[in-house]
Amino acid sequence: MTTDTANGDIAVRVYPGTYRDSVSLMLLSREVATMDGVADALVGMGTAVNLQSFTEMGAPVPSDVAENDLIVAVQAADPAVREAAFARAEAGDATRPTGATGGGERRARSVRTAARVPGQAPASLALVSVPGPHAAGVALEALNEGLDVMVFSDNVPLKHEIALKRTAERLGRLVMGPDCGTAVLQGACLGFANVTRPGTVGVVAASGTGAQHLMSLLDAAHVGVSHCLGVGGRDLSEEVGASSAVRALDILDADPQTDRIVVISKPPAPAAAERLTAHAATLSKPVHTILLGTQGQDITSAVEEVLHAQGVAVPEWPQWAPGSPGGRSARSGALRGLYCGGTLAEEALLVVEAELGAVSSNLGKRAAESETPHRVVDFGADEFTQGRPHPMIDPMPREEQLRAELLDEDCAVVLLDVVLGHGAHPDPASGVAAVVRDGRALGSTTPVIVSLCGTQDDPQDLTRQAETLQAAGAEVYVSNAAAARRAARLAAGKD
Amino acid sequence: MPSTESRLTSEAPSVVTVGAELLTDTLTAQGAPVHPVDFRPPLAGDGVDDALVDVLADPRRAEANETALNRVLGVRPRLVDVRPASEFLGLRPGTFYHAGPPIAWKDASGPLRGALIGAMLFEGLAQSPEEAEKALAEGAATLEPCHHHGGVGPMAGVVSPSMWVFVLRDEADPERYSWCSLNEGLGKVLRYGAYGPEVVERLRWMSSVLGPVLRDAVRARGPIDLGTILAQMLHMGDEAHNRNRAGTLMLLRDLLPNLVAGDHPAEDLAEVMRFVGGNDHFFLNLAMPALKLMLDAGRDVPGSSLVVAMARNGTEFGIQVSGTGDQWFTGPAQYPEGLFLGSYGPDDANPDIGDSAITETGGMGGFVMAAAPAIVRLVGGDAAFAMDATQNMYEITNDDHPLFQLPILDFRGSPTGIDVAKVVSTGILPQINTGMAGRVPGTGQVGAGLVTPPAECFTKAIRALGEAAEAP
In three-state secondary structure terms, B232 is: helix
pLDDT band at B79 (very low <50, low <70, confident <90, very high): very high
Q: Which residue of B has its CA nearest to A131?
A: B19
Q: Which of A38-47, A300-309, A415-424 has the lowest mean pLDDT?
A: A38-47
What is the band of A331 on the pLDDT scale with cuts at 50, 70, 90? Answer: confident
* Sign, CA torsion B392/B395/B396/B402: positive
Q: Which of residues 361-390 of B touch A (CB under 8 A)?
A: 382, 384-385, 387-388
Choose the weakest-confidence range: A236-245, A393-402, B5-14: B5-14
User: Within the 108-167 window of chain A, which residues sit less than 8 Å (CB to CB) from chain B?
Assistant: 108-115, 117, 120-131, 133-134, 136-138, 140-142, 144, 147-148, 152-153, 157, 159-160, 162-164, 166-167
Report residue A323's pLDDT band, with 50, 70 and 90 as the boundaries: low
CA-nearest of A304, A322, A312 to A436 is A322
Q: pLDDT exceeding 70 applies to what percent of chain B? A: 99
Is residue B52 within 8 angstroms of chain A, CB to CB?
yes
Res A100 pLDDT > 70: no
Helix or strand holding residue A136 (H, E): helix A132-144
Lowest mean pLDDT among A86-100, A281-295, B128-142, B210-224: A86-100
Query: What are the tens digits of pLDDT across the range A222-244?
Result: 999 999 999 999 999 999 999 99
CB-based contact B40 A109, cutoff 8 Å: yes
Residue A278, class by beta-carbon neighbours within 10 Å (0-12 exposed, 13-18 middle, 19+ buried)? Answer: exposed
Q: For residue B15, list chain A residues with Cβ-Cβ distance below 8 A.
A: 123-127, 188, 190
- Is pTM beyond 0.95? Reply is no
B65 close contact with A: CB closer than 8 A: no
Tell me whether A48 touches chain B (CB under 8 Å): no
Record: contact B15-A122, CB cut-off 8 A: no
Give the span between the Cα atoms of A283 and A254, in whole angstroms: 9
Q: How far apart are CA A98 and CA A101, in angstroms?
A: 8
Radius of gyration of chain A (CA): 24
A208-217, A378-387, B277-286: least confident range = A378-387
Mean pLDDT value across residues B308-322: 98
Average pLDDT, chain B: 95
**Contacts by residues A359-364 (CB-CB < 8 Å, ≥ 24 positions apart):** A359/A335, A361/A337
Model confidence at A295, pLDDT cuts 50, 70, 90, reads low
Contact A186 B56 (CB under 8 A): no
CA distance A405 to chain B (A): 31
pLDDT at position B456 is 97
Q: Is the pLDDT assigned to residue B242 strictly greater than 70?
A: yes
pLDDT of residue B119: 97
Dihedral sign for Cα atoms in the order A273, A276, A279, A281 = negative
Chain B CB contacts of A252 under 8 Å are 9
Q: Quote the CA–CA distance of A392 and A415 in Å, as a whole number.
A: 16
The pLDDT assigned to A93 comes to 63
pLDDT at A113: 93
With H, G, I as helix, E, B as strand and everything else as coil, classify residue B40.
coil
User: What pLDDT sits at residue A195?
Assistant: 95
Whole-number mean pLDDT of chain A?
Answer: 90
pLDDT at A396: 87
Q: Are strands B151-152 and B164-170 parallel, antiparallel or unpaired?
A: unpaired
Q: In what order do the strands lie in the sheet with A125-129?
A: A175-176, A148-151, A125-129, B15-19, B34-37
> Cβ(A417)–Cβ(A179) under 8 Å?
no
B403 pLDDT tier (thresholds 50, 70, 90): very high
**Residue A101 binned pLDDT confidence (cut-offs 50, 70, 90):** very low
- Please say if the pLDDT value at position B2 is more than 50: no
The neighbouring-strand residues paired with A225 are A201
Put simply, whether A67 touches B (Cβ < 8 Å) is yes
pLDDT one-digit tens code per residue, A339-348: 999 999 999 9
Close Cβ partners of A370 (under 8 Å, ≥ 6 residues apart): none
Is the CB of B92 inside 8 Å of chain A's CB atoms? no
Query: Which residue of B4, B40, B472 is in closest CB contact with A163?
Result: B472
Whether the pLDDT of residue A98 is over 50: the answer is no
> Does A97 score more than 50 pLDDT?
no
Using an 8 Å Cβ cutoff, are A481 and A299 in contact? yes
Give pLDDT, residue A330: 59
With CB atoms and an 8 Å threshold, state whether A66 touches B9: no
Question: Quick one: pLDDT band at residue B338, thresholds 50, 70, 90?
Answer: confident
Q: Which residues contact B96 (CB under 8 A, 6 or more apart)?
A: B116, B119, B141, B142, B143, B144, B158, B159, B160
Statement: residue A495 has pLDDT above 80: no
CB-CB under 8 Å, A123 with B385: no
